[in-house]
């Protein structure tokens, strides 16, 4: 029995007070309906509907996907009438299974472009939200510039055929909105990108300069670009997990989402959000999202990189087993307490030591089953955002504490060196893999050249103490057993 409205009703699975009478347009239109959106924002809206089914009976989400490879998923979710289960796992193993009914409509630009434009233009649509990944914004964050050279952008500037980017869809949809109702709109970025609302504003306004400059003033006056911080570990659902759910509820869900129990959604307070019950959805509204972003990026994401790289060095293939290694756990705790936390801003009501303990429990959640390989992937993008800022801030201090931060970089080099020697980095997942391969293939290549030749590390290459420690740790990794190197580090810190 496949999941859909009819079968869910037969099984008695629909939430109390559920109504199918709501008709589009819905208050929220979301670009990028993937696993994370469905475990996070769509799940959060379900909590509101469960509390107040009558009051918010017309609330729902119109999901929009743009990438060609997402069409199969759109059809699968549509076949399930937008219904899917979220299975949440607490670190101690407690499982909670919930049916989510909030995605009332799922569209794809290849098949439903006119409908998407109508939804954007409708005054009933109040929020357009985004989880399009960092790459979807098409912004070089290091230089704060829109990347015009991207082929999809160049295609969209021709104003022909089906749009390839979110920006052309917004340009045309918002123009229709201006003509149809002239009502303002909230643009809510929910991607793991620092200052994500500002990045979205930059990308859209830059695109409009060449696509339709007549819309710039209207967007600046009528669109509220809101910054957020989001957090819920949501790995890719496995076939086994889908089979387990089938045994549990006797219904086949081809769009199951599995995630951790932890949930966090921090949103910048803004007058445009005054009428939205975001706090009842579990969100925290704050004056400034930036300190929360720093906390997450440096402690969680940076900690993930540390755990993944050291775990891989010691032969672990899963994060939850790596963090339970006494050596890795000790390095992580030292890193957080001595190097990262001193660089963080004060947040009222947040106790960083408690947050770190919570992260250790989250990393150790066996049901998340996250791989060290996935965490290591894309390190040329991750480490400059998660680890280097900690090193920079520490270098400004009289007695900088940077040993473990540099140790993470050395562990990354050690990983690349092993992968190169094993099979020419065949399994390395990184958008700059070709550059890394080219460097390690050069005659006479050695670690002393790494910081000079990898552009992402240029910001710290001129700090003598960083170079000294980096070469020391790389040489240790290359000449000794990894566990002994980690043990030696712990004696030094």
Cis amide prior to 158 (ω within 30 degrees): no
Contact 148, 202 (CB under 8 A): no
Locate 7 and state its tokens.
């079968």
The whole-number pLDDT of residue 377 equals 96
Phi first, then psi, for residue 171 (nearest 5°) are -60, -45
The residue to which tokens 């979807």 are assigned: 136
Domain that holds residue 214: 5-287
The residue to which tokens 């931060």 are assigned: 405
Cβ neighbours of residue 401 under 8 Å, at least 6 residues apart? 338, 339, 342, 394
The whole-number pLDDT of residue 262 equals 96
Locate 36 and state its tokens.
């994370």
pLDDT along the chain (493 residues), means of 10: 93 84 93 98 97 92 97 98 97 94 97 98 98 94 92 96 97 98 97 95 98 98 98 92 95 96 97 95 97 97 97 97 98 98 95 97 92 95 95 96 98 98 96 96 96 93 95 97 97 93
- Give the angle subtended at the CA of 67 by the CAs of 27 and 261, to the nearest 5°: 60
The whole-number pLDDT of residue 273 equals 97
Parallel, antiparallel or unpaired: strands 228-231 and 264-268: antiparallel
- Domain match, 335 and 368 both: yes
Supply the CATH number for residue 263's domain. Answer: 3.40.50.720
Residue after which a domain boundary falls, among 287, 315, 349: 287
- Domain match, 38 and 73 both: yes
Supply the CATH number for residue 457's domain. Answer: 1.10.1040.10
Largest CA distance in the chain: 71
The whole-number pLDDT of residue 21 equals 77
The whole-number pLDDT of residue 236 equals 87
The whole-number pLDDT of residue 18 equals 81
- Domain match, 266 and 297 both: no
What angle, rounded to 10 degrees, do the helices at 326-334 and 302-313 form? 150
Cα(184)–Cα(126) distance, rounded to whole angstroms?
Answer: 8
Alpha helices (runs of H) in 122-238, residue ranges in sequence order: 133-136, 151-156, 166-180, 196-211, 216-222
Nearest to 50 by CA among 106, 122, 99, 114: 99
- Domain match, 59 and 175 both: yes
**Sign of torsion, CA 214 220 221 227?**
positive
The whole-number pLDDT of residue 223 equals 98
Residue after which a domain boundary falls, among 260, 287, 314: 287
Cβ neighbours of residue 210 under 8 Å, at least 6 residues apart? 148, 157
Task: Note the residue count of the chain.
Answer: 493
**263: how many CB neighbours lie within 10 A of its CB?**
17
The whole-number pLDDT of residue 346 equals 94
Decide: residue 356, CB within 10 A, 0-12 exposed, 13-18 middle, 19+ buried.
Answer: buried
- Domain match, 142 and 232 both: yes
The whole-number pLDDT of residue 47 equals 96
Residue after which a domain boundary falls, among 253, 287, 321: 287
The whole-number pLDDT of residue 367 equals 87
Coil, strand or helix: which one is 356?
Answer: helix
The whole-number pLDDT of residue 368 equals 86
**Counted domains in the chain:** 2
- Domain match, 282 and 360 both: no
Cα(340)–Cα(402) distance, rounded to whole angstroms?
Answer: 9
């Amino acid at each position: 029995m496949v999941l859909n409205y009819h079968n869910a009703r037969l099984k008695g699975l629909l939430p109390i007070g559920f109504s199918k009478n709501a008709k589009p347009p819905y208050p929220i239109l979301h670009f990028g309906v993937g696993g994370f959106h469905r475990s996070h924002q769509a799940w959060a809206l379900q909590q509101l509907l469960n509390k107040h089914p009558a009051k918010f009976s017309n609330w729902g989400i119109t999901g929009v996907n743009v990438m060609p490879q997402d069409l199969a998923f759109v059809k699968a979710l549509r076949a399930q009438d937008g219904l899917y289960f979220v299975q949440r796992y607490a670190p101690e193993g407690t499982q909670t299974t919930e049916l989510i009914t909030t995605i009332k409509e799922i569209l794809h630009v290849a098949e439903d472009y006119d409908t998407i434009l109508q939804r954007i233009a409708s005054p009933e649509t109040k929020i357009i939200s985004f989880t399009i990944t960092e790459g979807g914004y098409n912004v070089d964050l290091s230089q704060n510039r829109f990347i015009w050279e991207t082929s999809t952008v160049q295609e969209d500037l021709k104003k022909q055929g089906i749009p390839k980017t979110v920006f052309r869809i917004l340009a045309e949809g918002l123009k229709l909105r201006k003509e149809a109702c002239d009502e303002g709109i909230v643009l809510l970025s929910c991607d793991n990108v620092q200052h994500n609302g500002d990045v979205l504003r930059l990308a859209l306004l830059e695109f409009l300069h060449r696509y339709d400059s007549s819309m710039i003033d209207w967007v600046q006056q009528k669109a509220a670009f809101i910054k957020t911080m989001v957090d819920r570990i949501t790995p890719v659902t496995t076939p086994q997990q889908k089979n387990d759910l089938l045994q549990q509820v006797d219904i086949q869900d081809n769009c199951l989402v599995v995630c951790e129990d932890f949930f966090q959604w921090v949103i910048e307070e803004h007058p445009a959000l005054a009428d939205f019950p975001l706090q009842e959805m579990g969100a925290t509204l704050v004056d400034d999202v930036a300190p929360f972003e720093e906390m997450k990026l440096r402690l969680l994401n940076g900690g993930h990189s540390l755990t993944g790289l050291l775990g891989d060095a010691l032969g672990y293939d899963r994060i939850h087993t790596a963090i339970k290694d006494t050596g890795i756990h000790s390095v992580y705790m030292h890193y957080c307490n001595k190097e990262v936390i001193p660089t963080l801003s004060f947040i009222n009501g947040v106790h960083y030591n408690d947050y770190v303990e919570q992260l250790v429990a989250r990393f150790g959640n066996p049901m998340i089953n996250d791989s060290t390989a996935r965490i290591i992937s894309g390190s040329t993008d991750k480490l400059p955002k998660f680890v280097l800022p900690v090193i920079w801030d520490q270098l400004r201090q009289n007695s900088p504490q940077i040993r473990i931060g540099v140790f993470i970089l050395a562990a990354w080099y050690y990983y690349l060196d092993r992968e190169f020697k094993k099979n020419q980095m065949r399994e390395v997942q990184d958008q700059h893999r070709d550059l890394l391969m080219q460097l390690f293939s050069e005659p006479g290549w050695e670690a002393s050249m790494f910081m000079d030749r990898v552009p992402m590390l240029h910001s710290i290459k001129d700090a003598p103490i960083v170079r000294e420690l980096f070469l020391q740790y790389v040489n240790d990794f290359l000449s000794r057993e990894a566990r002994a190197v980690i043990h030696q580090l712990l004696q030094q810190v």
